[in-house]
Amino acid sequence: MPRPIARVLTLLELLQSGGLRTVAELADRLDVDERTVRRYAGHLIDLDVPVESVRGRYGGYRLTPGYRMPPLMLNDDEALAVMLGLVAGRRSGLTTAMGTAGETAAAKIRRVLPERLRLALDAVLGALAFTAPPGEADPPDSAVLLPLADAVTRHRPVSVRYTAVDGRRSERILHPYGIVAHSGRWYVTAADPAAGEDRTFRLDRISGVRTLPGSFEPRAGLDPAKRVLTGLATAPYRHEVTLRVQGTAEEIHTRLPAGIAIVEELSPSDDAGPETGRWSRVDLRVERLDWLPAVLASLDRPFVIERPDELRGLVEALAERLADSARRSPPHA
C-alpha cells in the first residue's frame, strides 16, 4: 500500500478512537508536518468521511459525534485480540447469555479480514485449548502466537529463544503440538528432541520464533490441555501434600482444580478411611499451607492427611477457632 494512502488510513484510525486530536499530535503520530495532516484530512472529507475541523489554540480534528464508520479496519494484533476474546467468552460460558451474538460477530469479522490474517487466525483457533476461565495477564505476542499456531497446524518444527524462570536463556528446537490458555497464562506443549521428552513452555518467555524446514509426526493420543495441567500440578514447590478424601475426582475438583491437584480415584480394596464410600488420593505441591484447611473444610467430606504433619496442626487450629466462634454469644444491645 503506498505510504500516503497508508497514512490517510492511519489518520482515520486515530480519529475513530474518539475525542479531539490536535494537528500537532496527529503530525507527530503520522511522522509528517502539520500541512500534510491538513491535506490528509481533506482527503477523508473528499471520501465523505465527516471530519470536523475545530479552530482555536487547542483546535484540531475529530469525527462527527455519533458517526459510525462502516469499514472494519483492524491490524493483526487487534484482529487477534477480538477473535480470541469472542472465542474465550464462548468457551468459558461468559457470553452464553447473549445467544449466538458472539458467533455471528466472529463470522462477520472473519469475512472482512484479509486471507492471510484469516488463515493465521484459523490456525490459532484450531490449535488452542482453554482449561479455565480467562484470568488477568498480558496477551500473547502475535509474533510468537501466530507462527507457533501455524507450526501446530502444519506439524512444522520451530526454533525459539526461551528465557527460563531463573533468567537463563537458551535456543531450542521444538515440535509443537498444542497451545493452551490456562487462568490468564498461555502455554505451548511440544516435544523437545534434545531433551527426549515432552515439555511445556510459557509463551511470554518465548521470543524469536522461526519455522524450520521439514515436518514431524505427533504421537497419537496427545492431549495438550492435560499435559499443561499435569505439569502445573507436579511443578516443584515448597510443600508436598498427600491426602485421602472421600469422593470422586469430579467432586474433589470442584474445590481443588486440576491445575493444583492430581486426583486418583482408589479401587475399593485401596480405600482407606473410617467412612464407607469411594475414596480418592490427592497430591498437591504448594508454596504455602495456610489456605488448605479452609479449602478442605469447604469440601465437607471426610479426609485423611498423610503428609505433611504441619498441615494437621493448621487444620486443628482452624477447627478450634471455628468452634470458639460458634460458642460465642452475641453481645447484649
* 3-state helix vs strand vs coil in the chain, percent to 5: 40, 25, 35
Q: Is the pLDDT of residue 133 over 90?
A: no
Q: Quick check: 157 pLDDT over 90?
A: yes
pLDDT band at residue 253 using 50, 70 and 90 as cut-offs: confident
Angle at 141 between CA 136 and CA 145, to 5 degrees: 105
- Give the strands of the sheet with 279-286, arranged side by side: 261-265, 279-286, 239-246, 303-307
pLDDT bin (cut points 50, 70, 90) of residue 1 is very low
With 0-12 CB in 10 A as exposed, 13-18 as middle and 19+ as buried, what is 18?
exposed
First to last CA, the chain: 78
Helix then strand count (H, E) for the chain reads 11, 13
Report the CATH architecture of 3-63.
Answer: Orthogonal Bundle (1.10)
Give the pLDDT confidence of 78-116 residue by residue, as tens digits.
777 777 777 666 655 544 444 556 666 666 677 667 777
Average pLDDT estimate for 174-194: 81
- Residue 215 phi, psi (nearest 5): -150, 170
The domain segmentation of the chain, as residue ranges, is: 3-63, 76-230, 234-326
DSSP string for residues in 130-183:
E-S---S-PPPPHHHHHHHHHHHHHT--EEEEEE-TTS-EEEEEEEEEEEEEET
**In terms of pLDDT, which residue wins out, 110 or 187?**
187
Average pLDDT over the chain, rounded to an integer: 78
Cα–Cα nearest to 316, from 297, 288, 299: 297
**What single DSSP character describes residue 269?**
G
Q: How many CA atoms lie within 13 Å of 77's alpha carbon, on the beta-carbon side? A: 7
Residue 303 grid coordinates? 479426609
pTM of the model: 0.46
CATH architecture of 234-326: 2-Layer Sandwich (3.30)
Given phi > 0 = left and psi -120 to 50 = alpha, else beta, which region is 18?
Answer: left
Residue 106 is given by DSSP the state H
Stretch 252-270: mean pLDDT, rounded?
79
Query: Is 62 a residue whose pLDDT tops 90?
Result: no
Average pLDDT in the 8-14 region?
Answer: 82
How far, in Å, CA of 132 to CA of 105, rounded? 23
The mean-pLDDT minimum among 53-57, 224-228, 284-288 falls in: 224-228
228, 190 in Cβ contact below 8 A? Answer: no
For residue 118, how far is the Cα from the chain centroid?
20
Same fold, 3-63 and 234-326: no
Q: Is 230 helix (H, G, I), strand (E, B) or coil?
A: helix
